[in-house]
Amino acid sequence: MTVTERIAYLKGLAEGLELNTESKEGKVIAGMLEALEDIAMELTDMTERIDVLDEDLADVEDIVYDDDDFDFDLDDNFSDEDEEDDVYEFECPNCHETVYFDDSLFDGDDDEDFELECPACGAKLDGVFEFEDEGDEE
């Protein structure tokens, strides 16, 4: 039974009791029934509005999340092994902060000079990089 149906039932009971709406008690009960009826109408109206908003939100979710062009899954693109292989950790000799660099910074010629700065203190990190190639172990 909906709220509106319950209030209609209560109004029917009050009419069946031949409630005297001229008495003090009758006026109070009649006023409460009218207020309940107004509240039920507002509640029904809000429920309908929420249903419309829910449908609109479902349409937006379909557009945003079910788009075939946006097929991205973090688990498919990144793994713990990739992260360990692609990120290097160094301690800044100046401020002793641990800094991380992606291996893409080191791509290129071995002769190419590059300069990196500590993101924490701005010190130049020349000469702190020592790499051993896995294939060069002899």
Q: Are 102 and 87 in contact (CB under 8 A)?
A: yes
Last residue of a domain, one of 65, 84, 99: 65
58 and 100 assigned to the same domain: no
Q: Cα–chain-centroid distance for residue 75?
A: 18
pLDDT band at 69; cut points 50, 70, 90: low
53 and 79 assigned to the same domain: no
Reported as a single tens digit per residue, the pLDDT across 26-68 is 999 999 999 999 999 999 999 999 999 999 999 898 888 875 5
Q: Which two tokens stand for residue 78?
A: 């990144």
SS3 41: helix
Task: Return d(Cα 38, Cα 132) in angstroms, integer.
Answer: 79
Full residue range of the structural domain in which residue 114 is found = 74-128
**CA nearest to 128, candidates 96, 103, 91:** 91
7 and 55 assigned to the same domain: yes
Task: Give a yes or no: residue 122 inside a domain.
Answer: yes
Strands (E), 92-127: 98-102
Higher pLDDT, 15 or 67: 15
Task: Give the total number of structural domains in the chain.
Answer: 2
Task: Return d(Cα 127, Cα 125) in angstroms, integer.
Answer: 6
What pTM, to 2 d.p., does this model score? 0.41
Strand partners, 98: 91
Task: Give a yes or no: residue 133 inside a domain.
Answer: no
84 and 61 assigned to the same domain: no
Q: Which two tokens stand for residue 60?
A: 């937006």
Reported as a single tens digit per residue, the pLDDT across 77-123 is 555 554 445 677 778 888 888 887 777 766 655 545 567 788 888 88
